Structure formats: C-alpha cells, structure tokens
Chain A
C-alpha cells in the first residue's frame, strides 16, 4: 500500500474534484504497481533457477558418458542416463526461458501503462498526489 498517498494534505489545497475516471486511473496505477512488484519477485526467482540449470549442464559436460546420473525427481533420486538427464535439463531450460520472456513483457506492459497513467494524474493533481513506488 505504499504507492498512493492520500490526496491533498492538512492544508487541503487539493480542491480538484476527483471523478470516477480519475479514481479508475488511480486504481489502475496502484494495481500495476503491485503487479510489477510481484513480477519482479518471480523474475528474480526464475533467473536464479536458470543460472542453477546452466551450472548443472556445465557440470554434466564433464561427467562420464557411460555412467548413469542420479537425477532428483520429487523427493527421490532416480538413476538415468547422462543423455536423458541432459535432455531433461534442456527442456526445463527452454520452459524457464519462455517463462522469463513472458514475465519480462508483462513487466514492460505494467511500466508502460503506469507512465501513461502518471502523465494524466500528475497533470490534474499536480503535487497533491504521490505516485512513486
């Protein structure tokens, strides 16, 4: 709830009437702000996972080709061939990449919308509205 301070202040200089349209813009801004926060959190997590996966595939490059790999599935480890493990890691990596792309474009959307809303709101309410994160 940090983004939107109350309109006006003790001096009550905010004589500007708030219309439903303004209210909707404020709502949207607040919504995008929170959404962006969530997305950034997810994005950090996904990026860490991606790095771990990269480390893993680097590690497996050095592994003995004929020796099976113990791969963690759920709470247990199963022994599978190196080739299969690499395939699995590749597939996981791809799905992570597309997830990251999706999150990034969603974040861009939020930022774009927020800056548009900010222009509208700032021009009407000047300094009696606080739109920073």
Chain B
C-alpha cells in the first residue's frame, strides 16, 4: 500500500511510499518488474523537474544581482540630486567614458522586449523593490521545491532498492529450496 500521496504547495506530486513490499507488488510470488519500472519512470520525472528548477534558479542567480545593481544606482541618483554627478559609464567591455549627469527626476528602466519606459525616481524605486521581492520569493520557492523533489527522489530510490532486494532474496531462497 502506498501512503502520504499528496503534493507540495507548487503542486509537485509526492512519491508513494511502499509500506509493505509483498502487499505492494500484490502477493508473495508476484513479479517485481512492473513495480520497478514504475519507480524508474517516476525517478525520471523527478529528475526532469529538478533540471528545469535548477535552470530557473540559475537564471534568478543572475537576475537578482542585476535588479540590486539597478536599484543601487537609482537610489544613488535619488540621494544625490543636488551634488554634481560625475560618472564613468561603460561604452564597451574595456572602454569607459566620462559623463556628468544633469539633475533629473526621471530614469528609464529597461523592461525587456526592446522597451524602455520612463519613471519618476520614487516610482522606479518602488517598482524595482517589488521586482526584487518577487524574484527573491521565487528563488526561495525554487529552493523549497528542489528540497521536496530531493525527498521524493530519495523515496523512489529506497522503494526501488527494497523491491529489488526482496526479489533477490526470494530468488535465493527458491534456489536453496531447489538445491535441497
């Protein structure tokens, strides 16, 4: 019998736990191949989910520092309205040019999809703050999901090992009986 069949908050299904091997495969002499195959497929599915989540996490690993950098710059502009803003900005990988920033209360944020939109500085800060929070929540969730998947993978591993061991033992006992 399997138990604890639920899912986690992001609807990743839980792996069934095999309580009793004999009961699970359906009798003392039942074959184990279908059960083994079932868990193999399950493990592959979890592996697939794990890979896609790891990719998501990796992209967030880039995105979060990016938002932080932008936010730091916008905040700097906000805090230094009056003083002169001499900057060196990047023209190319190894080439920087000097620029003096005019006193401004508008910044342009790159929204992706070849679009830039102008925002008043406080609005820009609010928007970036919000984006940062969202990205961090998503990062946290991905981590939780990954841990959950790892647990399910462990369950399928243990299930497989137990059914396998049961089969090996059964065969050995049969052989011993025949030899007598």
Whether A and B are associated in the same complex: the answer reads yes
Binding site for B on A (CB under 8 A): 1, 4, 6-10, 12, 14-15, 17-20, 23, 26-27, 30-31, 34-35, 68, 70, 73-80
Binding site for A on B (CB under 8 A): 3-4, 17, 19-20, 69-70, 72-73, 76, 80, 85-90, 96, 146-147, 150-151, 153-155, 157-158, 160-162, 164-166, 168-169, 172
Chain B residues within an 8 Å CB radius of A77: 87-89, 96
A76 touches B161 (CB 8 A): no
Cβ-defined partner of B158 (8 Å) among A23, A34, A76: A23
B87 touches A78 (CB 8 A): yes
B86 touches A68 (CB 8 A): yes
Chain B residues within an 8 Å CB radius of A80: 80
A1 touches B153 (CB 8 A): yes
Of the candidates A7, A15, A17, A74, the one having the most CB atoms from chain B within 10 angstroms of its own CB is: A74
Whole-angstrom distance between the alpha carbons of A1 and B172 in the complex?
30
Within the complex, what minimum Cβ distance (angstroms) separates A41 from chain B? Answer: 11
Assuming the A-B contacts A12-B168, A73-B73, A74-B69, are A31 and B161 also in contact, with contact meaning beta carbons closer than 8 angstroms in the complex?
Answer: no
B86 touches A73 (CB 8 A): no
Whole-angstrom distance between the alpha carbons of A25 and B24 in the complex?
21
Chain B residues within an 8 Å CB radius of A19: 19
Chain A residues within an 8 Å CB radius of B70: 74
A20 touches B147 (CB 8 A): no
Chain B residues within an 8 Å CB radius of A4: 154, 157-158
B169 touches A78 (CB 8 A): no
Whole-angstrom distance between the alpha carbons of A79 and B88 in the complex?
8
A26 touches B154 (CB 8 A): yes
Within the complex, what minimum Cβ distance (angstroms) separates B85 from chain A? Answer: 7
A6 touches B161 (CB 8 A): yes
Cβ-defined partner of A27 (8 Å) among B19, B155, B162, B169: B155
A78 touches B85 (CB 8 A): yes
B172 touches A12 (CB 8 A): yes
Within the complex, what minimum Cβ distance (angstroms) separates A2 from chain B? Answer: 12
Chain A residues within an 8 Å CB radius of B73: 73-74, 76, 78
